[in-house]
Amino acid sequence: MDRELALEIVRATEAAALASSQWMGRGLKNEADDAATSAMRKMFDSVNMNGTVVIGEGELDEAPMLYIGEPLGNKNGPAVDIAVDPLEGTSILSKGYPNALSIIAVADRGTLLHAPDMYMDKIVVGPEAAGLIRLDDPIEKSIDIIAKMANKRVRDVNVIIQERPRHEELIERIRATGARVKLFGDGDVATSIATVLPRTGIDLFIGTGGAPEGVIAAAAIKALGGDMQARLAPSNDDERQRCVKMGLEDPTQLLQLDDLVRGDDAIFAATGVTSGELLDGVRFIGGDQVETDSIIMRAKTGTVRYVKAQHRLNQKPHLVMSE
């Protein structure tokens, strides 16, 4: 894959962040999601690639923009799989909460897991504990391993977990070990990736969240040298059938990082929409000037770039929310 592609796709996450951020706090999550999706979709037409959406805004029979199977790019470039979440955290944005992102992951054709839109159990750690953590281990054992590898006392280990009734028992068990629990409302892509970055102080991400979000985050976790294990959590026969249709013979098999993203040629780009664990959100700094913060990573080289950009909305009328 050409490395220039990394800079092309960040333009698309910036556009989606700029368009959707104007809906922040308005309580209208579908409108915000539509703004992000159409802004991102437009940017893809000029990108030099022969892409196919494998994680997107829905399936063909629902016919949304950026549907699974949609061809993207001008065909003058590599054959790639594309995973998009134009607005990760639609409710977050509508309520003005932290951690909303616009995200794209691109990888060689056939290397991203085709994950249906259902729940997935996930565990994520940073490079110190890579290769040592198992999704099926008791949480107490995982916390002990992390404390040893990070050279911390258990009471200084920080575990991040989504605040949901389904996690209540797990939260109690984590607290009983003496470790600290950092709860978040929504946005498990930002929080799982933040676990792999040393500056955040987060040691372990665990819990059940969206499967598409799991695959997208895996591309970044791989580029950052972290580790992840996951398992799809189909809740009925229909969901099990959808897994099989998407190529997973055993829907409940344990998925290693290499099953989520095969090979090492993956690029991940995200732009913050609201400020959170990973990035600052879009800032309206007066007049038509707007600032964005993005992160771009390549698994092949392990290079991580932070891109701060200033935009003039009066020169991008297609991204401006109509009154």
Stretch that binds ligand FBP, among 76-84, 207-215, 224-232, 238-246 (CB under 6 A): 207-215
Nearer to ligand FBP, 99 or 177 (CB): 99
Q: Least distance (Å) from ligand FBP to the CB of residue 104?
A: 15
Is residue 277 at the binding interface for ligand FBP, with CB under 6 A as the rule?
no
Q: Least distance (Å) from ligand FBP to the CB of residue 123?
A: 14
Report the DSSP pairing between strands 227-232 and 204-210. unpaired
Instruction: For the chain, state the CA radius of gyration.
Output: 19
174-193 residues near ligand FBP, rule: CB under 6 A = 186-189
Would you say 56 is a known binding-site residue? no
Classified as helix, coil or strand, 92 is: helix
Classified as helix, coil or strand, 310 is: strand
What residues have CB less than 8 Å from 55, skipping those under 6 apart? 68, 82, 83, 84, 85, 105, 112, 114, 115, 212, 215, 216
Which residue has its beta carbon closest to ligand FBP? Answer: 209
Is residue 210 at the binding interface for ligand FBP, with CB under 6 A as the rule?
yes
Is residue 91 at the binding interface for ligand FBP, with CB under 6 A as the rule?
yes
Q: Which residue's entry shows tokens 């609201």?
A: 274
Dihedral angle of Cα 214, 215, 216, 217, to the nearest 10 degrees: 50
304-323 residues near ligand FBP, rule: CB under 6 A = none
Is residue 34 at the binding interface for ligand FBP, with CB under 6 A as the rule?
no
Instruction: For residues 315 and 229, give the distance between their C-alpha atoms in angstroms, rounded to a whole number.
Output: 44
Instruction: Name the DSSP letter for residue 278.
Output: S
Write out the residues near ligand FBP by the rule CB under 6 A.
88-91, 164, 186-189, 209-210, 213
- Residues annotated as binding site? 33, 57, 85, 88-90, 119, 164-166, 186-188, 210, 213
- Residues annotated as binding site for Mn(2+)? 33, 57, 85, 88, 213
